[in-house]
Amino acid sequence: MYFGADEAGKGPVLGPMVAACVVAPEAALPDGIDDSKRLAPVRREALAASLRAHPDVTLGVARIPVARIDAPGTDMNSLTVAAHAEAIADAGVPGRGLSGFVDAGDVDAARFGRRVAAALDAPVEVRPEHRADETYPHVAAASVVAKVERDARVARIAEEYGEVGSGYPSDPTTRAFLREYVREHGALPACARSSWKTCDDVLAAAEQSSLDAF
């Protein structure tokens, strides 16, 4: 039996980053499991529900909130390491003698694996690879669980604020939401990662617009 871990939401300007770990015999993984980016939302949700319902599958989830992402002195590489380690720990992997694969969130895959292993309370064999979610079904399953959880968090943000788009800086709807919110309230919403350049740009544009009004 192996585990796989992956994260979703490393790059968005809105909402948390989420990591997941899936521990299971390979036979317990549902048919059609794949990298979450290759699956339609409805299919991802069905696969995640199947994983949660299976008695031989153990899941662990870790959420890195906006406040932790924006905290001084941290960086996304370190937070991605922490997210993977916390998801692996939440799944109860340490102490079970398991080995598994993680989708390396660092240009140096081996370094990423060492850092994740060092963050755990007990020795765990962590095998890091780039694009592991395209190769190993356990990592693909973790990517599905993480993406579904991340999407649910974005949906809750939309329930509170209205249409916010995907939360990614490249999304025009997300950028429009931030501009309008700052224009109306004079500050960023609590769901925004204020340390992101996108937020700096929105605040600078709002300040310039105020100056131009005089």
Residues of each annotated binding site: 6-7, 103
What residue numbers does the annotated binding site for a divalent metal cation cover?
6-7, 103
Question: What distances in angstroms separate CA 82 from CA 10, 33, 74, one per listed residue?
Answer: 12, 25, 11
Residue type, 24: A
Q: How does strand 2-8 pair with strand 17-24?
A: antiparallel
Chain position carrying tokens 């617009």: 209
Cβ–Cβ < 8 Å for 175, 197? no
| Angle between helix 41-53 and 137-161 (nearest 10) | 110
